[in-house]
A and B are shown apart, each in its own frame.
Chain A
Amino acid sequence: MLVVALLWAALTFVGEVLAVRLTPFRPAAAEEGDLIDSAFRSLTILSVPVLAFVLAVLAYSVLRFRVPGDPTQDGPAIRTHRPTVTTWLLVTTGLTVAVIIFPGTTGLLELHDRARHVDMVVQVQAQRYAWKTTYPEYGFSTWELVLPVGRRVRVEVTSTDVIHSFWVPAFRMKVDAVPGLVTTTVVTPSKAGSFQDDPDFRIQCTELCGVGHSVMRAPVRVVELSEFEAWVAQQSRSQ
């Protein structure tokens, strides 16, 4: 028992260090993305002890209780053990509730809250195999998505043919583009960047839509507000 406990503790420690240190992400470029990354991290931190526990018991049992050759004896006839079962149920239920509340429900509510007030609206129309962006406030359309840093944007997505899905890896947010429906997602870009420098700044179609699905991408550029206004002015002139 003690050995297992020690093994568990050690595995948990190593796992947690890895989970915190080796952040599996490139940093997100939107506030919502940070939220999602931190949700991911808290799930990892919660699941490490579970993984470590099962692993510890598994490894210990295999090494300690193995019998070389055919066993000539049976093990002890333990059919069940009430305290163990009760503890297990309580712990897993507790863990599940914890996961549901945090980061699940809190993250969800936070994301919904953010959707209430937005600073600007962008319409994105998917069609095989391209993304068209319209800025209704300024009345022009382009084939790239340009957003200013620090403004909360509602992206209204729709499709003219089949289902596509709007995903910007740098923002972490995703929503399907469904013909006949307008779906929305809210992002608040927090860092300037562009597709040229970082491939995560792209709209990537993530719903299989036909032969061009894998190459159905569009560049994304996040710029400072002033630069964005200059870009808007220039676009409006040229259209």
Chain B
Amino acid sequence: MAFAPLLRGIGFGAVGFLLGSGLGAIVRVTMGLDPWSAEALVVVGYIFGLVGWLLGVGVWGTWAREWFGLAARRGEAQGWRRYLRFSTDHKVIGVQYLVTFLVVMLLGGVLAVLMRAELMAPGKTIMTLNTYNNAMSLHGILMVAVAVAAIIGGLGNFLVPLLIGAEDVAFPRLNALSFWVIPPVAVLLLLTPLMGGFDSGWTAYPPLSVINAQGQTLYLLAFITFGFSSILGGLNFIATVIAMRAPGMTWSRLPIFVWSIFAASLISLTATQFVAFALLSVLLDRVAGTSFYDATQGGNALLYEHLFWFYSHPAVYIMILPAFGVALEVLAHFSRKPLFAYKWVVGAFMAVVGLSFLVWAHHLFTSGMSDFLHLPFMVTTELISIPTGIVFLSSLGTIWLGRLWLTTPMLFALGFLFNFLIGGITGIFLADVPTDLHLQDTYFVVAHFHYTIVGGEVFALLAGVYYWFPKLTGRMYSERLGKLHFWWVLLAYNVTFIPMFWAGLHGMNRRVADYSPELGGINLFISIAAFVLAASFLLMLVNLARAWVRGPAAGANPWKARTLEWQTSSPPPAENFPAEPQVVGAPYDYGVPGSRHAVVAAKGASEGEEKRDGDAAPRNQED
């Protein structure tokens, strides 16, 4: 009965949906309205359906029973079945996130390929204008979800407790809840075409998003639900890092990846509420008859833009901070050197968190907001380069004079630096008001954010996935295929997105299914490159899938790294460590004679430091 929890969730969800929409219809009748309004009923039905789904999939059995004074049911499944249920093990949840978002990313990628096919030539190629707008919007929101949650939810969940020497996160059941609201998000988004799709881009500016097809309502519900998950996830990480560290794990000994997740969580916890309200206000305009965005009734579309970007700018740092964390982590271990200027990096992360709340209106330079806001927002935005620059200082300082071990994860981390540099610097062109007046909403922006998100974050995600794959699965992937994947992606990626800067400068604006004929050549070029890029991901899939099933055993510490996650077996046992680790030193003190990061006292005495031994495989605590 591996599928029992899922089936129960779906069943309860369906019952909830019917109950909710029925209730909605009754309320409408009592208010003297026509009982049939697809959108209103879907909204009420969805809320009940979501509750039903969660209860069915496991919240009732493992948790909610306690609220009614009943004993909760315990017991974990084994093997792959764990991944199909409401497991509270952070390692299971991490893998659930990673796999889910990998699939979502492939779906988003398939949409990108279709979009590029349409853009191969001016005029209609394979889809109508409306289909294009819908595909583009869906690509945007799916990918934004991937970018916001893949590293934090996936790698963060799996690794943060391990890295700080804890048994689990602070609130394991809440953690499971944060994951299990994600499948409904994906389902809603994929169902949007059934209700006419949504053609508002991922940003959903009203009044368009108030008056367009009903698919928009599903988008709104999905995004709000996603925000809910991210808030709870952030809360959990903050509490975990504050309260669950192993003895001796002082703040100045935290691995940098933990710091990055902590910083990003501060943003998820707070800023997300703003987008929740922004989306809610659009939803109310659509189904409850309010007029936030109806200019004839005193509404103002700019309100939405401010609320939306108050979250969505900080959100780009929710994406990139953990990416910095992964990249720095990988660079330090594979340079076999301490992380350069560790304390400065931590300070920089916090500075980015602080500044990220003060820059949102750089997305509104052409929106018609008051002129006097231009200067302050330009200044704050450009100030962010300074803390971000420190990440580069640390990276370069770390590899300098190191013993670089150019494995696949290391290559991806180096590729991250290269790509993100281009993404970051082109951000300066957008932050500068005069140039932004021309560049706003052109392909220059599209290129900028693919450089920061795909070239930056996704490269770091891939670095992390390759780096920790042996820990996640206990098996080793093929380095040869991994390196081939890296060079393929790096080249195809840059060849695809560099020309977009040029196209943007030359009059190619965003979100268009059709464009001036003179831009045909460059778009054909971009499209072909994009297809080559997409194909590279198949290589990764093959490599990882094959390794997961029958790769060679990886051993506990294939990279001879010092941090705690490598001091336990691969994959780690349910309780993570055989005994509570004692942290006695800094995490990256490579090259410091006699230093060690942690002691994991146990049968067989695994040690915090494993360098220079010819045999890389430290004692395994496999049970």
Contact between chain A and chain B defined by CB under 8 Å? yes
Q: Interface residues, chain A, CB within 8 Å of chain B?
A: 24-26, 33, 35-36, 39-40, 43, 47, 50-51, 54-55, 57-58, 61-62, 65-67, 70-81, 84-85, 88-89, 92-93, 95-96, 99-100, 103-105, 107-108, 111-112, 157, 161-163, 165, 167, 169, 172-176, 178-181, 183, 185, 199-200, 202, 204-215
Known interface pairs A71-B403, A208-B205, A208-B208; A180-B300 also in contact (CB < 8 Å): yes
**CB-based contact B432/A39 at 8 Å:** yes
Closest 8 CB pairs of A and B: A180-B295, A183-B368, A214-B512, A107-B434, A74-B591, A77-B591, A169-B507, A75-B337
Assess whether A163 is in contact with B208, with CB atoms less than 8 Å apart.
yes
By the criterion CB–CB under 8 Å, are A40 and B393 in contact?
Answer: no
- The one of B130, B211, B397 that contacts A78, using a Cβ cutoff of 8 Å: B397
Any A CB within 8 A of the CB of B568: no
In this complex, the member of B133, B396, B418, B437 whose beta carbon has the largest number of chain A beta carbons within 10 angstroms is B437
Residue of A40, A78, A88, A96 near B435 (CB, 8 A) is: A40
State A170–B510 Cα separation when bound (angstroms). Answer: 17
What would be 12 A-B contacts, judged by CB atoms less than 8 Å apart? A40-B505, A43-B432, A74-B590, A77-B338, A105-B375, A108-B375, A180-B300, A181-B301, A202-B516, A204-B507, A205-B509, A211-B133
B512 nearest in chain A by CB position: A214
Cβ of A96 and Cβ of B386 under 8 Å apart?
Answer: yes
Residue B270 is within 8 A (CB to CB) of chain A in the complex: no
Q: Does B399 contact A (CB under 8 A)?
A: yes
Give the contacting residue for B401; candidates A78, A95, A167; CB below 8 A.
Answer: A78
**Would you call B366 and A175 a contact (CB within 8 A)?**
yes
Which applies to chain A's interface (DSSP): helix, strand, loop or mixed?
Answer: mixed
Q: Is B611 an interface residue (CB 8 A)?
A: yes
Chain A residues, CB < 8 A from B428 = 43, 47, 99
Give the complex CA separation of A99 and B431 in angstroms. 10
Nearest B residue (CB) for A185: B437
User: In the complex, which of the residues A58, A172, A178, A212 contacts B438, with contact meaning CB atoms closer than 8 Å?
Assistant: A172
Extra pairs beyond A178-B301, A206-B509 (10, CB < 8 Å):
A54-B417, A67-B403, A75-B402, A77-B589, A81-B341, A103-B434, A104-B431, A169-B507, A174-B438, A206-B441
Asked if B506 is an interface residue, CB under 8 A from chain A, the answer is: yes
Question: How many angstroms between the C-alpha atoms of A214 and B507 in the bound complex?
Answer: 12
Report Cα–Cα, A206/B437, bound state, in Å. 11
Residues of B within 8 A of A172 (CB): 437-438
Given known pairs A99-B382, A99-B428, A179-B207, the reply for A70 and B340 (CB within 8 Å) is: no
The smallest C-beta distance from A51 to any residue of chain B, in angstroms, reads 6
CB of A68, distance to nearest CB on chain B (Å): 9
* Chain B hits for A58, CB < 8 A: 396, 399, 414, 417-418
In-complex Cβ contact of A25 among B385, B505, B511, B589 (8 A)? B505
Q: Is B200 an interface residue (CB 8 A)?
A: yes
Minimum Cβ distance to chain A for residue B306 (Å): 13
* B199 / chain A contacts, CB cutoff of 8 Å: 208, 210-211
Residue contact A210 to B418, C-beta cutoff 8 Å:
no
> Chain B residues near A165 (CB, 8 Å)?
366, 440-441
In the assembled complex, how far is the CB of residue A151 from the closest CB belonging to chain B, in whole angstroms?
20
A-facing residues in B402-447 (Cβ within 8 Å): 402-406, 414, 417-418, 421-422, 425, 428-429, 431-435, 437-438, 440-442
By a CB distance below 8 angstroms, the chain A residues around B190 are none
Among A70, A76, A96, A100, contact of B616 (Cβ-Cβ < 8 Å)? A70
Residues B378 and A76 in contact, CB atoms below 8 Å apart: no
**Across-interface contacts of A93 in B (CB, < 8 A):** 386
- Cα separation A81 to B338 with both chains bound (whole Å): 12
Closest B residue, CB atoms, query A67: B403
Q: Is the CB of B129 within 8 A of A43?
A: no
- Chain B residues near A215 (CB-CB < 8 A): 129, 514
For window 377-399 of chain B, which residues contact chain A by CB distance below 8 Å?
A: 378-379, 382-383, 385-386, 389-390, 392-393, 396-397, 399
Q: Are B337 and A76 in contact (CB under 8 A)?
A: yes
Q: Counting CB contacts under 8 A, is B583 at the interface?
A: no
Q: How far is the CB of A61 from chain B (nearest CB, A)?
A: 4
Complex: how many Å from CA A95 to CA B31? 63
Contact B403 A24 (CB under 8 A): no
Please state if A89 and B337 are interface contacts (CB–CB under 8 Å): no
Q: Are B406 and A173 in contact (CB under 8 A)?
A: no
State in angstroms the CA–CA spacing of A178 and B611 once bound together.
Answer: 63
Closest A residue to B429 by CB, please name it. A43
Closest chain-A Cβ to B441's Cβ sits at a distance in Å of 4
The complex places the Cα of A74 from the Cα of B586 at a distance, in Å, of 15
Query: Does B296 have its Cβ within 8 Å of any Cβ on chain A?
Result: yes
CB-based contact A210/B212 at 8 Å: yes
Q: Which residues of B contact A80 (CB under 8 A)?
A: 340-344, 397
Name the interface residues of B119-136: CB closer than 8 Å to any CB of A: 129-130, 133
Chain B hits for A36, CB < 8 A: 434-435, 437-438
Q: Is B336 an interface residue (CB 8 A)?
A: yes
Cα A70 to Cα B340 in complex, Å, equals 22
Q: Which residues of B contact A76 (CB under 8 A)?
A: 337, 401, 591
How distant is the Cα of A80 from the Cα of B612 in the complex, in angstroms?
A: 23
Contacts A74-B336, A79-B340 given; does A206 touch B295 at CB 8 Å: no
Question: Cβ of B543 < 8 Å from any Cβ of A?
Answer: no
- Whether B43 is near chain A, meaning CB under 8 Å from some CB there, is no
Q: Is B371 an interface residue (CB 8 A)?
A: yes
> With A43-B428, A108-B374 as given contacts, are A74 and B301 in contact (CB-CB < 8 Å)?
no
Whether B403 lies near A73 (C-beta < 8 A) is yes
Contact B336 A180 (CB under 8 A): no
**In the complex where A78-B401, A212-B129 touch, is A100 in contact with B378 (Cβ < 8 A)?**
yes
Say which residue of A75, A169, A175, A199 sits within 8 Å of B403 (CB atoms). A75
Question: In whole angstroms, what is the CA distance A119 to B353 when docked?
Answer: 46
- Is A79 in contact with B437, judged by CB distance below 8 angstroms? no
